[in-house]
Amino acid sequence: MDRRQFLFASLAAAASPLAMRGAWAADTYADAFHQATARDRWLRAYGGIDHDVAAPSLRIEGRIPAGLRGTLYRNGPALFERSGIRYHHLFDGDGMVQAFRFTENGVSHEGRFVQTPKFLAEQAQQRFLQSGFGTALPGLPFATGGGLDRANVANTNVVVHARRLMALWEGGSAFELDPVTLATRGPVTWRPDLKGMPFSAHPKIEPDGTMWNVGAIPDSLAIYRIAPDGTLAQAEVLKVPGLVMNHDFAVSRDHLVFVLPDTRLDLDKLRAGRAFLEALAFPPDAPMKLLVVDKADLRQQRTFELPPGYLFHFGNAWNDGAGTLRFDYVHHESAGVLMDGLPGLMRGDAASMPPRSAVSMQVAVDLASGRVRTAAMKDVVEFPRVDPRVVGQRNRHLWLSTGMGKGLGTLMMNAVLRYDVESGKRDAFRYEPEALVEEHVFVADRASTREGAGWLVGCAYDVAYGRTSLNVFDALRLSAGPIARAWLPYGLPPGFHGNFEAA
Amino acid sequence: MIRPALLATALAAAGPALATDVTFEVSGIEAPGGHILVVIYDEASFLKKPLKAARLNPVAGGKVSGVFRDVPEGTYAISAIHDENDNNKLDSNLIGIPTERYGFSNNPSLWGAPKFSDAKVSVAGGTQHFAIQLR
């Protein structure tokens, strides 16, 4: 390179740092990530896995409670790289469903990739054939004429309803799996005119067995009500101007509750081949919209304002009988985890993952006056769960994952936490110093009808050991530590969500 | 016969329009059933009223091709759909996402319905060939 070329290159770099960074990032995620794992060992958890796994009998410390019998199903993105190309966003990985089976003989584990058409085609060719939500691969589409099912990675949640096991994503169909073998049966079409519709990853199952779910595309929100016997009872599409996407919602006795961050989608960027994520923008300091829909008549809708921020998840919602709707969600200060943190994780760039404020927000809405009160808890949290026996009803307990100690954000949680939302007391347990703690799921003890009687079960990746443990707590005494730990003979990529199906 | 006569007069008045054969090839066919419907539009008729249409038997996993004859010079857009259930339209689900495969000349992004300008192609002189990928 002669001097003129060198000068020109320097000027170009100075003039367009973002463009240069983008070009660099597009080519070097895999190399950057693998180099970073030598420095930051915890990143190895996100290296991914490329084959199904099984361990028939896990090594157990402590005693599994006799009442805990059934299967914990979990889901999460697990395959991140093919032919030297690494996805740019955690959400793009192919879904792998885990089954932890608790029987008289101990605990077994099996993990199988969901055999989506995308996964099968890419397995056959050993390369990516599809762009992802957060990864634009040159010449490879994300959406197609038939919607998003061609890009469906079924990687976000797994739920059992009416004995049907379904792996869920946000932008397309549920995929039904065989509950015993985890073999994929195929996409669920609830009714012919609902083929290929988004069926989101956070359905809510009320104590009577009714399952509500939603699905969003720009400006439209589909609402599904599935009867306790697994048949479709209702499907409607609401016009919601300005809506771009919707991850979770809550149900109360009377309402469906949505919190919508002000989100902009630049269609020209999509048409120019950028990833969906790259076409998103979040105006700073814009209040979030609270949308409350009457369950009995979905056309009855009210909107309120919530403080600026971002969210993924709700805990629960309930009507107090005196005109107040109460609910909780995890309030992020911004969309930083989505936009910067998770891409940074994929290229091992710890500097792009500063600790993010994400706190449990307790909300009370006086429906008559429109007055909205919010109260933020203090811990950095994610993945709120309640006792399934109180979904849509008043709950006293709320279980979450949290980060205890310095410098930990929602990407590096190391502890589990219970709030008694009535007394404000907290009950927490911190894992080993270097642990990556997943969502923990409440499992009811059927010997009792009391809210909170049961166990909290969940996985933690031990960084020093490179293995994953499945842990069982007395759900009302987390601080006493796990009453049993089952160790896998391997590590699993930290997953997103799951549910327990009692035997 | 009034309307064809008027049309002929209008074309004559527009000047000596040269006619071209437009050949097309549709790929990305996945299922064997139904028909491939291919339509050519001009800007005024885009997605409203076909100027010419073709109905072809699909070849699963393959391509089909055809020709629109005597197309006057000008700017056009071509759409193709795989009408799997032979109801002569592009089916959509309740939320409005098409459930049959479709594509356009120029193979534009299918984020939202394409505009005429996204799919437009020029037809002038000799035989013109366009490839459309169904998605």
Interface of A with B in 220-249 (CB under 8 A): 220, 222, 235, 237
Q: Does B28 contact A at CB distance below 8 Å?
A: no
A240-257: average pLDDT = 97
pTM assigned to the model: 0.90
- Nearest to residue A86, comparing CAs of A15, A137, A160, A13? A137
CB contact under 8 A, B110 and A222: no
Q: Which pLDDT score is estimated for A382?
A: 95
d(CA A480, CA A66): 19
Mean confidence (pLDDT) of chain A: 92
Residue of A nearest to B108 (CA): A271
Q: What local confidence, expressed as pLDDT, does residue A7 receive?
A: 30
Give the pLDDT score at A354.
Answer: 63
Q: What mean pLDDT comes out for the span A363-385? A: 96
- With respect to residue B68, please indicate whether it lies within any of the assigned structural domains: yes
Question: Mean per-residue pLDDT for A136-142?
Answer: 87
pLDDT digits (tens, 9 = 90+) for A223-239: 999 999 999 999 999 99
Q: What angle do CA A316, A328, A228 make, to 5 degrees?
A: 15
Residue B88: inside a domain: yes
Phi, psi (rounded to 5 degrees) for B28: 85, 25
CB contact under 8 A, B110 and A270: no
Task: For residue A126, give the DSSP letter.
Answer: T
State residue A358 phi and psi, 5-degree precision.
-145, 115
Amino acid in the structure at residue A185:
R
Span A10-47, pLDDT tens digits: 223 333 333 333 433 446 899 999 999 998 889 999 99
Residue of B94, B107, B115, B135 to mutate when probing chain A, most A C-beta within 10 A: B94
When pLDDT is averaged across residues A336-357 and rounded to a whole number, the result is 84
Residues A415-472: tens digit of each pLDDT: 999 999 999 999 999 998 789 999 999 999 999 999 999 999 999 999 999 999 999 9
Distances, alpha carbon A503 to alpha carbons A58, A121, A170, A180, B110, in Å: 19, 35, 28, 12, 46
Give the helix/strand (H/E) hosting A120.
helix A117-125
pLDDT above 70 covers a percentage of chain A that reads 92
Measured between CA atoms, how close is B86 to chain A, in angstroms?
Answer: 16
> Over 80: is that where the pLDDT of A351 sits?
no
A453 CA: distance to closest CA in chain B (Å):
41
Residue B82 lies in a domain: yes
Which tops the pLDDT comparison, A453 or B108?
A453
Q: Cα–chain-centroid distance for residue A405?
A: 23
Q: How far is A156 from chain B (nearest CA, A)?
A: 22
Q: Cα torsion at A429, A432, A433, A439 (round to 10°)?
A: -60
In a domain, B59, yes or no: yes
Touching B: A residues 275-334, CB under 8 Å: none
pLDDT of residue A407: 52
In a domain, B70, yes or no: yes
Q: Where are the domains of chain A?
A: 1-38, 40-502
The CA-based angle A402-A406-A408, given to 5 degrees, is 45
For chain B, say whether A145 makes contact (Cβ under 8 Å): yes
ipTM of the complex: 0.85
| Whole-angstrom distance, CA of residue B130 vs CA of residue B71 | 14
Measure the CA–CA gap between A195 and A279, rounded to whole angstroms. Answer: 26
Would residue B81 count as lying in a domain?
A: yes
Arithmetic mean of pLDDT, B5-28: 66
pLDDT band for A86, please (50, 70, 90 cuts).
very high
Domains identified in chain B, total number: 1
Q: Provide the shortest C-alpha distance from residue B51 to chain A (in Å).
A: 23
> How many CB contacts within 8 angstroms connect chain A with chain B?
62
For B71, the domain range is: 29-127
Structure token digits, residue A380: 């950095």
Which chain A positions have a beta carbon within 8 Å of B93's beta carbon?
A: 147, 193-197
- Give pLDDT tens digits for B26-81: 999 988 899 999 999 999 999 999 999 999 999 878 899 999 999 999 999 999 99
Nearest in space to A281 (alpha carbons), one of A295, A300, A261, A297 = A261
pLDDT confidence of A412, banded at 50, 70, 90?
confident
Out of B97, B118, B135, closest to residue A197 by CB: B97
Q: Nearest by CB to B93, from A144, A196, A270: name it.
A: A196
Confidence (pLDDT) at A357: 80
Name the token pair of A191: 């009714």
B94: chain A residues, CB-CB within 8 Å: 193-194, 197, 222, 235, 237
**Does B24 reside within a domain?**
no
Strands (E), A295-449: 301-306, 310-319, 324-332, 358-366, 372-376, 381-385, 397-402, 415-420, 426-430, 435-444
The model's pLDDT over A126-137, given as tens digits with 9 standing for 90+, comes to 999 999 999 999
Give the model's pLDDT for residue A271: 85
Residue B134 lies in a domain: no
- Please, are residues A396 and A452 in contact by the beta-carbon 8 Å criterion? yes
Task: Residue B134: list chain A partners with CB under 8 A.
Answer: 145
In what helix (H) or strand (E) does residue A19 lie, and over which residues does it extend?
Answer: helix A17-39
Q: Using one digit for the tens of pLDDT, what is the confidence trace for A414-427?
A: 999 999 999 999 99
What is the model's pLDDT at position A378? 92
Nearest Cα of chain B lies from the Cα of A259 at a distance, in angstroms, of: 21
What mean pLDDT is predicted for residues B81-96?
94
If you classify domain A40-502 with CATH, what class do you get?
mainly beta
Query: Which residues of chain B neighbour A144 with C-beta distances below 8 Å?
Result: 101, 110, 135
CB contact (8 A) between residue A193 and residue B111: no
Measured from the Cβ of residue B39, the count of other Cβ atoms closer than 10 Å reads: 20
Lowest mean pLDDT among A5-9, A56-60, A87-91: A5-9
